[in-house]
Amino acid sequence: MIRHPFGRWTAAGSLLAVLAFASGCGTAQVDRGQAAPSATMSAAVSPSPALTAAATEDLRDPAEVVSEDGLLKTRIVVERKKVRLAGKDLWALTYNGLYMPPTLRLQPGDRMEIAFENRLPDQVTNFTNLHVHGMHVSPVGNSDNIFLSIDPGKTFEFKYQFLESLEPGTYWYHPHPHTRSAAQTAGGMAGLIVVEGLDRYMPQQLRGITEHSIALKDFQIVGDQIKTADLKMGAPTTRTVNGQLNPRIRIKPGETQLWRIANIGANIFYKVALPGTTFHVVAQDGYPVNKVYPADSIVIPAGARYDVLVQGGQAGTRELVTQPYNSGKAGNQFPQATLATVETAGTPVEQAALPSTFAPADDLAKEPIAGRKTIVFTENKAGTQFYINGKQFDHNRIDFRVKLNTTEEWTIRNDSDEVHSYHVHTNDFQVMSINGEPQVNYGLQDTVDVPARGNIVIRSRFVDFPGKTVLHCHILNHEDAGMMAAFQIDR
């Protein structure tokens, strides 16, 4: 990955383009295994039957736009363009003409200004907007305001002021216009955001290590275009990493790398594993953990992110896969598929000791509870209409109210026969229990799976930013069909 200062970006060492700019639903479930003493990989293994293409090119980390002197300023143009994907030329919905747009990289306390131009044709959509997913920032005005509508031919100036306390980790950006979120995200409109600062919690030996983005995006095809209408979660789909089909990820024996694994697709689940290797989770949903924990596989619903440490073992190749996953009898069964090929080769390096403790603990169990609420997810028998507390989303209705500078405990109940993914804007939450079973507090998060016919209990602390915001199922098909609610954070 090659970084360039604010306003200029490349990927894999080749200049792709120059941005135009002014003046310049884990606890998504985690299978936690015991950490092997060396977390080594065995020698070469044969490819799985789900391998869709041989690994013929190295992983390309997305280009980056990097903040400078406390400001990240850039331009994002939304347009329908043909892109090269999986050996085909396909019409896609793009940011700056790319299926995998640049990563926005900034520091806590930075400002971000984005000139956002909508060039989508009317027949595709008549409006869009921009959401900085998971970020603790104002939900009103020209900040992270998903109630805005930017029509074709219009440009809007987004301005964000992030706090010095913004947590380091991986976030992402995507459209959030109600009834069109799934179509636009599935069409390709999604990119990463990285907030610097994880290094300060790393032991000295692991600071500045190689990092890779593992941005999981999938697309369905109709003719010569990525499908955006009548999306079916269980339909055949092409899963990519950074827009590539089965890229090669290189690692040396003994080397430790940081992988930012993010599901930035519209709907489907991933159960990510690298058989024979243990992931060591250091951040979830842009929030550093207080204790590094091992995971043999990670269930990642749409919208969720995990930053993990991975260590190279013996020389050989191994497939990074998404394992079979069943989201319930009213949901879908997702088959195993190969995501990337990991090649361990080169001169071995001394394997670093991995950290155990990490960031300071933030435990909402110790805070007084100012209120309690119940959120109930339901759907009709046909699975075409979705509800929160018996109601479908209405822009003009406030469904819940909370007070700024208070902590509340909410129960999210799923009265359907499929998994739903609970996501909330503006403030993260702590998962207290799942189906009555208390959960270990590793840190806060913004997306969690709610089991079919089950429930979770969370605690949220509402600080810094008053205003109108939303909670919803982050299966965007469900959100667009009504499973979203607005709530007001009152001063």
Domains, in order of start, for the chain: 9-24+59-200 (2.60.40.420), 203-344 (2.60.40.420), 364-490 (2.60.40.420)
In the block, tokens 């998060």 appear at 445
What's the pTM value of the predicted model, to 2 decimals? 0.90
Half-sphere exposure (CA, 13 Å, Cβ side) for 208?
Answer: 2
Q: Order of strands, edge to edge, in the sheet holding 131-133?
A: 64-66, 103-106, 191-195, 169-174, 131-133
What is the chain's pLDDT, residue by residue, as a tens digit (491 residues)? 333 333 334 333 333 333 333 333 333 344 433 333 222 233 333 333 444 568 889 999 999 999 999 999 999 999 999 999 999 999 999 999 999 999 999 999 999 999 999 999 876 567 999 999 999 999 999 999 999 999 999 999 999 999 999 999 999 999 999 999 999 999 999 999 999 999 999 999 999 999 999 999 999 999 999 999 999 999 999 999 999 999 999 999 999 999 999 999 999 999 999 999 999 999 999 999 999 999 999 999 999 999 999 999 999 999 999 999 999 999 999 999 999 999 999 999 999 999 999 999 999 999 999 999 999 999 999 999 999 999 999 999 999 999 999 999 999 999 999 999 999 999 999 999 999 999 999 999 999 999 999 999 999 999 999 999 999 999 999 999 999 999 999 99
Count other C-beta atoms under 10 Å from residue 141's C-beta: 11
Tokens describing residue 78: 């939304």
Round to whole Å and give the CA distance between 464 and 262. Answer: 27
Q: Distances in Å between the alpha carbon of 301 and those of 144, 223, 263, 327, 417?
A: 22, 28, 7, 10, 17
